[in-house]
Structure 1
Amino acid sequence: MSKPSENDIYNRITVILKEITPINSTRAVCTAEISANNDHAKIFYDHIDNFGAKNWFIPTTASVDSELLDLFVELRKIFIKNNYCTAENSWSSCTVELNLESNNIELSVKY
């Protein structure tokens, strides 16, 4: 099986966040702090409701964390491969914000 493209990764993240975010939310926010060895992460989930209030939530299954970790690791590898960063100075955390009304996704990274 071939490695997913950057677009494939963003599309899959979008699908996952749409599936797990509470109903009546306008935005989903996922922040991941990924280990240097790519073997674990702390992942936090927030949603913004119709009134603009931000609240955290927990996905109903742990497999969501595992799948997102795999996607974020692949995304970081793509950043390194495309010289957006180096392996020695790659990003250690990222935040994905998905507008559930427009399906626009934004990624920000921290080094």
Structure 2
Amino acid sequence: MIDDLYNKIGQILVSSYPDDAVKIITKIEIVEENDVATYVFIYFDNKNNRKQFVPDPKVTNDIFHTMLELKKYFIDNNLTNGKPIWAGCIVEIDIKNSKIDFEFKYERFIDVDDDE
């Protein structure tokens, strides 16, 4: 189940980025009330140029709801080890090598002008 959610997030992201993206970095931060999220979308093209990206609103909606499913899975299966649930994550996808990495964050980590 958890792998399905990770794969779904990866598929949503990879299909939403421009065709010349070879590495994508998506920062997702969900507020404590689970009713809104902040996003930063970055990618590197095949010439290693770093670019910001704004996807279709359907993409952010799909990511948001899948992240909520992932949070629920963590809570329902006691994967937090009694600690508070994460507030968001940074998803890095190396498209060339088909690798995905999730780095979970437990405190606020996206600034309004964040482009890193």
User: Into which bin does the TM-score normalised by the smaller protein fall?
Assistant: 0.7 to 0.9
Contact 1:80 1:87 in 2 (8 A): no
1:30-58 CA deviation, whole Å, 9 max, x = no partner?
11110112111011111011222221101
**2:103 aligned counterpart, secondary structure:** strand
* Equivalent residue number for residue 65 of structure 2: 70
Which consecutive unaligned segments of at least 5 residues does structure 1 have? none
**Do the aligned partners of residues 62 and 87 (structure 1) sit closer, same or farther apart at CA in structure 2, a change above 3 Å counting?**
farther
* Equivalent residue number for residue 29 of structure 1: 25
**1:101 aligned counterpart, secondary structure:** coil
Rounded to whole Å, the distance in 1 between the matches of 2:95 and 2:82 is 33
**1:30 aligned counterpart, secondary structure:** strand
Rounded to whole Å, the distance in 2 between the matches of 1:87 and 1:75 is 17
**Do the aligned partners of residues 71 and 8 (structure 1) sit closer, same or farther apart at CA in structure 2, a change above 3 Å counting?**
same
Task: Pick from 10, 23, 32 the counterpart of residue 6 of structure 2.
Answer: 10
Rounded to whole Å, the distance in 1 between the matches of 2:71 and 2:50 is 27
Cα RMSD after superposing both structures: 1.7
Task: Pick from 36, 40, 46 the counterpart of residue 40 of structure 1.
Answer: 36
Q: State TM-score, norm by structure 1.
A: 0.85
**1:109 aligned counterpart, secondary structure:** strand
Q: Percent identity among equivalent residues? A: 29
1:80-111 CA deviation, whole Å, 9 max, x = no partner?
23333168611112011111112211000111
Number of residue-to-residue matches in the alignment: 106
Which consecutive unaligned segments of at least 5 residues does structure 2 have? 107-116
Q: State TM-score, norm by structure 2.
A: 0.82
